[in-house]
Amino acid sequence: MTIEQQLDELSGLEYPKKVDVVDQVMAEVEKKPYLRPVHGRVNWQRISAIAAAAVVVLVAVNVVVFNNLGHDNGSQGIPVAQDNDWNTIEEEAVDTNNTALPTI
Amino acid sequence: MEDKQIVEAVLAGDTRKFALIVERYQQIVANLTYKLCGNRLEVEEVTQQVFVELYTALPRFRFDSQLSSFIYRITVNVVCKMMNKAKRFVSADAMEGLPEQRSEDRNAQQQIIYNEQMEQLRTAIGHLKDEQRTALVLYTFEDFSYQQIADVMQCSLSKVESLIFRAKKNLAKEVRQ
């Protein structure tokens, strides 16, 4: 007999006893509640979409915040001297010169 | 009730329905386990472990293949794991007690020779490497196609062909000795 023929002969091999493990399996399954299948399945597409949306929102917020910071820096810069201040000083000088000096 | 409906019910929280899957496939799993490891003392234990692992793995099952293929895959993995742990090999002793396959066409002497050949073959199957034995058993004893075996063992078609070819070659070599 060839190996193939011998294997064919053996192919009718079956476990010679009727198996019943339902009770044992269900007892195992019931005592491990943390291994219970979750209700429904994990929707990875939904999770990816939410994560992508969160990234977009974060980027938008950062853009807005940094733009606002740039405008604020311009208006809070070093105070510029006003023309009025200089005029005041000149007027004071002129006033001093107008004071009549005593003649000898 | 179809497999898909039962799985969906179990995943929705009706754990009791899982018993239907166990009832449906337990003998199939036991037969496959017996062919793979041949140790009758472990078959019920392995069968039980297969279904406990199936329950845990059920949320990962996507119905892109049949539930039976998924169960076969788990069975093969559990058997290999337990055999590596126990470091037991299929032996002629482990397979003794099988009913002899008698035929009216054979006379007594032919029957003796026939039985010896079968016993030699069983021993040789036990000496194969795990992967070769799995592929050979699924192909020869479960009538799986190469594609189905590739799905169960999660390998390529060419690897399945190679495993079966080498398994038969090794069997022929050992049986002839």
Q: Which structural domains are found in chain B, ordered by start? A: 1-88 (1.10.1740.10)
Q: What is the pLDDT confidence band of residue B94, given thresholds at 50, 70 and 90? A: very low
CA B137 to chain A, closest CA, distance in angstroms equals 8
| Residue B103, token pair as written in the block | 């035929």
The pLDDT confidence band at residue A101, using thresholds 50, 70 and 90, is low
Sort out which chain A residues have CB atoms less than 8 A from B118's CB and list them. 6, 9-10
Query: Cβ atoms within 10 A of the Cβ of A7, count?
Result: 20
**Is A52 a member of any domain?**
yes
Residues B72/B152, Cβ–Cβ less than 8 Å: yes
Tell how many helices (H) and how many strands (E) occur in chain A.
4, 0
Q: Mean pLDDT, chain B, as a whole number? A: 82
Q: What is the rounded distance in angstroms from the CA atom of residue B157 to the CA atom of residue B145?
A: 10
Our CA angle for B60, A30, A24, nearest 5°, is: 100
Tens-place pLDDT, residues B24-62: 999 999 988 887 776 545 789 999 999 999 999 988 888
Residue A8 has pLDDT above 70, yes or no: yes
Contact criterion met (CB < 8 Å) for B43 and A15: yes
Q: Is residue A37 part of a domain?
A: yes
Contact B30 A8 (CB under 8 A): no
DSSP label at residue B65: S
**Which residue range is the domain that position A42 belongs to?**
23-66
Residue B111: pLDDT band (50, 70, 90) is: confident
CA A84 to mean position of chain CA atoms:
52
Is B156 strand, coil or helix?
coil
Evaluate whether residue A3 is within a structural domain: no
- Best residue in B100, B105, B138, B141 for a mutation probing chain A (most A CBs within 10 Å): B141
Q: Which residues of B touch A18 (CB under 8 A)?
A: 27
Q: Can you count the helices (H) and strands (E) in chain B?
A: 8, 0
Q: What are phi and psi of B61, to 5 degrees?
A: -75, 125
3-state DSSP call for residue A49?
A: helix
Q: Do A3 and B168 touch (CB under 8 A)?
A: yes
Closest CA to B131 of B71, B77, B74: B77
The total number of structural domains in chain A stands at 1
Q: Considering the domain boundaries, does residue A11 fall inside one?
A: no
Q: Find chain A residues with C-beta within 8 A of B40's C-beta.
A: 15-17
Flag whether A54 is in a domain. yes
Model-wide pTM > 0.95:
no
Point out the residue among A4, A6, A22 whose CB comes nearest to the CB of B19. Answer: A22
Q: Tell me if A36 is assigned to some domain.
A: yes
CB pair distance less than 8 Å for A11 and B140: yes
- Among the partner-chain residues B31, B52, B136, the one whose CB lies closest to the CB of A29 is B52
Dihedral sign for Cα B8, B9, B11, B12, please. Answer: positive
In a domain, residue A32? The reply is yes
d(CA B134, CA B163): 9
- Please say whether the beta carbons of B26 and B47 come within 8 A: yes
Spell out the residues 6+ positions from residue A57 whose beta carbon is closer than 8 angstroms to its own.
Answer: none
Chain B residue numbers with beta carbons less than 8 Å from the beta carbon of A25 are 18-19, 22, 48, 51-52, 55
**DSSP per-residue string spanning B79-140:** HHHHHHHHT----TTTTTTPPP---TTS-HHHHHHHHHHHHHHHHHHHHS-HHHHHHHHHHH
| Chain B contact for A44 (CB, 8 A cutoff) | no
pLDDT top residue among A60 and B88: A60
ipTM above 0.90, yes or no: no
CB contact under 8 A, A37 and B33: no
Residue A73 lies in a domain: no
